[in-house]
Structure 1
Amino acid sequence: MSGFDTLDPWLTDEQRAFRRNVREFFAEDPVRKAVAALGVHEPREESGLLDVYRRLGERGWLAAAWPEEYGGLGLTAVEAGIVLEEMVLNGVPEDQHVLSIDTVGQLLLLAGTPEQRTRHLPALAKGEQIATVLFTEPHCGSDLAALRTRAVPDGDGWRLSGRKIFNQKSQFAEWALCAARTDEGPVRYHGITLFLLPLRSPGVVINPVWSMGDERFNEIVIEDVRLTAEHIVGPVDAGWQLLNDMLLLERTGMDFQAKLRRWLDIVVADARRTGRLADSGYAQRIADVDAQLKAGRALAWRMVRAQVSGEPDPVASAASKWFITQQSDAVVRLGADVMGLDGLLSRWDGEAPADGLLESVYRQSPAHTLASGTSEVMLQIIAASGLELSS
């Protein structure tokens, strides 16, 4: 974890001390054992609620920027970024955090009612529950305005029906933030409403969708599930703007850059072990990738600081996400060249170097340019909103 300077000039003394405390936490033996246990699953197995999340929740660190009444510490996005960065650098799966804390929880803080926040946020902040999102549908990915899941009025409530796909952690989650169409007006981006859907409701069926990744996706079939006004987040028909606001907060690139840094550090350690680090060809490539990752990290932290100052920038956030995730391919190819054929052994092979991480990374890295908005969508935002280019 020496790939970046811990004395970041934008951190206060208190924030540097906070990072040291978080690092000491991850160095504790029980925590290291809990993280190591996550890597021993059989194929197609994965963890739900994580012990390390509960340990973070006990300290108020899992949602450090949330108000204390909801299980946080009332700190800033900087401290939250420190926790997320250190989690990923230490090999803790971040999907549950990104979904539950950074996405659903943050949107409830932004637009939820006091009752919704009191009911749902403390359990998320303690790592005792998981929340997920239901946006993508079989016929539409990034174009959420084309979604077909519908909620029709039913007395004082709604009847929700539709089909969602490529959702993670739904098999473990208690509830999900679901986008549904509630009006068919002439404006495509109007008439979308966000609902809190209890996933154990009659009429909700969760089917696995297997992929090359270690963690499964899911298909969610929703058949005539009745919801009430207490399940609606934000105004009816105004979910599109809320989704944009939420994605702006999510697209710092912090989790992506930390994951790439961890991968590169493992490649460098293997190059040092095998003597390839002394080869000028390998050394130059490592230096080049290292420089790109440091630039990406600087962009990610710039987005975090923009949130703290109350001046988030959609174009800069899109640029940060795009630039960072574009480095995935370079890191993976470098790792394959440095580690050779042995690097393609899976973690279920006893002779795999670095516990088979490279083989897992090789399968998962393409998803970086899809998650939180595809690279094409990021470029469209940069071109249209930043450069004011028309199609």
Structure 2
Amino acid sequence: MDFGFDPHQSRLRARIRAVLATPGVRRAIDDLAAGTGEPDERPLYRAIGAAGVLAPDWPAEFGGLGGGPMSLAVVAEELSRAGVPDTLHINTVQIVGSVLRAIGAADQQRRWLPRFAAGERFACVLYTEPEAGSDLAALTTRAEPAPGGYLVSGTKIYSLKAALCDVALAAVRTGDPGSRYDGITLVLIDLHAPGVRVARMPSLADEHFHRVELDAVFVPESDVLGEPGAGWAALTTALAMERTGLDYALKAARWYDTARAALTPGDAADSLADLGRHGARADAARLLAWAALARLEEDRFDPVFAAMAKLHTSESAAAVAEWGAALHGAAAAPATGRARCLESAWREAPGLTISAGVSEVMLELIAGSLSGSAR
């Protein structure tokens, strides 16, 4: 792996930094930082999207810059360093946008991708269900045939940012499956359509999870992604591509830098061993994430390597958050500034080892590859 950046990536990094330094964008970032609770970053994303840098890996016709996964990672890294919340970007561009590019019809791509890239519309994911958990093959949300499309009924849980989004990528069942993996279809659901109810779920983190109840929601045939009943392969590929670990590595780096910056010289001397250990862990997480991204860039994606990246980066971010909060007493007495950031990280961290695949499932994938039994 080449640990440097090519000229295109270096120019892109300079470009996004210039966008983030403009007065309007900087003011929007500061306004979010001054608030409490879950931020509404849509105005900020519209300001950034107007500069055409939110989806640099997409073709120009969709509002992108024609780069690859490494270009997207450069932008994500700079957004994180500037203090831009990442969930809407991850869900809209990196997950839903990637699925649309992979299996979406031309009219679906033209309808949604330019608006995603401009920060005008936002998307979330509806996979998990109350009785299915991480076992997506056990999902039960039904899509019954109706004139011109389907009527979708069921309940999805643990959806981030659903209350702020316009559309959701949902996994549903169409027809009777021949096996657990048959009959699953991916659809786009208008979250403002009749029959959709979005309710906040209790959560420790600042960002809220949502429960989305679907009661005979009409989904036109034009909003079905790929072939009906053939969604499992696309779903597993999409999940694996979420596991580069970059977003977790960025959190680990941000939380480590925050904890280190809050130390006095005396505290730093007393905590030297922990500083070195957690700093090395954060650096290793970043290198592992970039290695996974390099494989994507070279079109040699490896789901087992991705599982390794997701496991290490999410566990590292959680460890850094716990250390930083304990070091500064942030969990017991959150105040303002750095202490509040670390207290928020401490509450968010446990969820990182669950989202995009729980650590135990990642371990199973890795162990299965070593024994030759991985699917």
Shorter-chain TM-score category? over 0.9
Q: Specify the SS of the correspondent of 1:275.
A: helix
Q: 1:219 to 1:288 in 2, by over 3 A?
A: same
Q: Which residue number in structure 2 is paired with residue 358 of structure 1?
A: 342
Does the 8 Å contact 2:365/2:374 carry over to 1?
no
Q: Specify the SS of the correspondent of 1:163.
A: strand
Is 2:26 the counterpart of 1:26?
Answer: no
Q: Which residue number in structure 2 is paired with residue 50 of structure 1?
A: 43
Cα distance between partner residues in 2 of 1:342 and 1:189: 45
Q: Which residue number in structure 2 is paired with residue 157 of structure 1?
A: 149
- Structure 1 residue 154: deviation in Å? 1.9
Q: Which residue number in structure 1 is paired with residue 194 of structure 2?
A: 202
- Structure 1 residue 249: deviation in Å? 1.9
Q: Which moved more, 1:92-101 or 1:225-234?
A: 225-234
Deviations 1:94-143 (CA, angstroms, capped at 9, x unpaired): 10011000111110000000000011111110011111111111111210
Given candidates 358, 361, 371, the residue that maps to 1:374 is 358
Does the 8 Å contact 1:89/1:259 carry over to 2?
no
Q: Which residue number in structure 2 is paired with residue 5 of structure 1?
A: none
* Aligned residues: CA RMSD: 1.9
Does the 8 Å contact 1:57/1:125 carry over to 2?
yes
Q: Which residue number in structure 2 is paired with residue 345 of structure 1?
A: 333
Given candidates 303, 324, 330, the residue that maps to 1:335 is 324
Q: Unaligned regions of 5+ residues in structure 2, if any?
A: none
Q: 1:145 to 1:372 in 2, by over 3 A?
A: same
Does the 8 Å contact 2:63/2:113 carry over to 1?
yes
Deviations 1:227-286 (CA, angstroms, capped at 9, x unpaired): 221010011101111111112222111111011101000111111x3531133xx11111
Q: Specify the SS of the correspondent of 2:85.
A: coil
Q: 1:353 to 1:38 in 2, by over 3 A?
A: closer
Given candidates 281, 284, 288, the residue that maps to 1:299 is 288
What letter is aligned with 1:249? M
- Structure 1 residue 343: deviation in Å? 6.0
Cα distance between partner residues in 2 of 1:117 and 1:390: 33
Cα distance between partner residues in 2 of 1:189 and 1:257: 32
- Structure 1 residue 16: deviation in Å? 1.9
Q: Which residue number in structure 1 is paired with residue 109 of structure 2?
A: 117
| TM-score of the aligned structures, taking structure 1 as reference length | 0.91
Q: 1:290 to 1:42 in 2, by over 3 A?
A: closer
Given candidates 140, 144, 147, the residue that maps to 2:136 is 144
Deviations 1:46-78 (CA, angstroms, capped at 9, x unpaired): 315132x22321222100000111111111111
Cα distance between partner residues in 2 of 1:191 and 1:298: 38
Q: Specify the SS of the correspondent of 2:244.
A: coil
Does the 8 Å contact 2:331/2:346 carry over to 1?
no
Cα distance between partner residues in 2 of 1:284 and 1:29: 40
What letter is aligned with 2:333? L
Q: Specify the SS of the correspondent of 1:102.
A: helix
Q: Unaligned regions of 5+ residues in structure 1, if any?
A: 1-7
Q: Which residue number in structure 1 is paired with residue 237 of structure 2?
A: 245
Count the aligned residue pairs: 374
Does the 8 Å contact 2:168/2:191 carry over to 1?
yes
Is 2:251 the counterpart of 1:267?
Answer: no
- Structure 1 residue 325: deviation in Å? 0.9
Q: Which residue number in structure 2 is paired with residue 278 of structure 1?
A: 269
- Structure 1 residue 206: deviation in Å? 1.1
Q: Which moved more, 1:210-219 or 1:19-28?
A: 19-28
| TM-score of the aligned structures, taking structure 2 as reference length | 0.95
Cα distance between partner residues in 2 of 1:255 and 1:166: 18
